Amino acid sequence: MTKLAANLTMLFTELPFLERFHAAAQAGFKAVEFLFPYAFEPAEIAEQLRRHELQLVLHNLPAGNWDAGERGIACHPDRCDEFRQGVDEAIRYAKLLGVKQLNCLVGIVPQGVNAELARLTLVGNLKFAADKLQAAGIALLIEPINRFDIAGFFLNTTQQALALIKASGSDNLFLQYDIYHMQRMEGELANTIKVNLALIRHVQLADNPGRGEPGTGEINYRFLFSFLKEIGYQGWIGCEYKPQAGTEAGLGWRAAHGL
């Protein structure tokens, strides 16, 4: 069975955030994900999850000043204390919201910081976060993101992510595989997923070009959904796309794919 989670950062954006949970449930979703919960008290979000019988399957660690263009601080040598405080805050929210996995957006390399220092900083922070989350019963994920959408982002490919996982020495660090980002960076989607299935804990989708819903671009999602079932992927698939003609119309692809 294909398990789809509505990404509330991208879907139902015509509604205030706390109203999107009801809309997701009305649209037939059993689970949701989003970028960050930190603008709200945990109890506010927990009430929406309870009222609408939804599972929260993923959110991110704090990622710096998002509105100012920051996309994570885990590779910033001068902000390790801030990163580690954010890990504690994320664990607090995750425990109250029943989240079993958190994603770390590793960040854009700061101007004047060389790649090796950024890598060493990142590996140390990932090791710290993975250990802290493991003690709390929560998995840590990292996500490669294409360099076209976020210029300067440190982590762009599956192989880079695998190298970071190995360098961390942690058995609590896994891969979040975003089909859209990896189509732009690598292609070879099916074989990459199959080879790394043991480390992939979460999948996200959007089509390319345009990051729209499945069926609006070049990716053969009918094949990929069948393939994920065939190889035994058990996790959730987050619907993290930009609806091309509004959320309601942008959900029609599910029926077209038998979902």
> Which residue out of 143, 186, 188, 230 is catalytically annotated?
143
Q: How far is CA 42 from CA 11, 22, 90, 92, 230, in A?
A: 21, 17, 11, 9, 37
DSSP state of 65: -
Residue 189: both structure tokens together: 């989607």
CB 259 within 8 A of CB 5: no
Residue 184: both structure tokens together: 């732009």
> Which residue out of 19, 33, 218, 240 is catalytically annotated?
240
End-to-end CA distance of the chain: 9
218 is catalytic: no
DSSP state of 90: H
The dihedrals phi and psi of 13, each to the nearest 5 degrees, come to -75, -10
143 is catalytic: yes
Catalytic residues: 143, 240
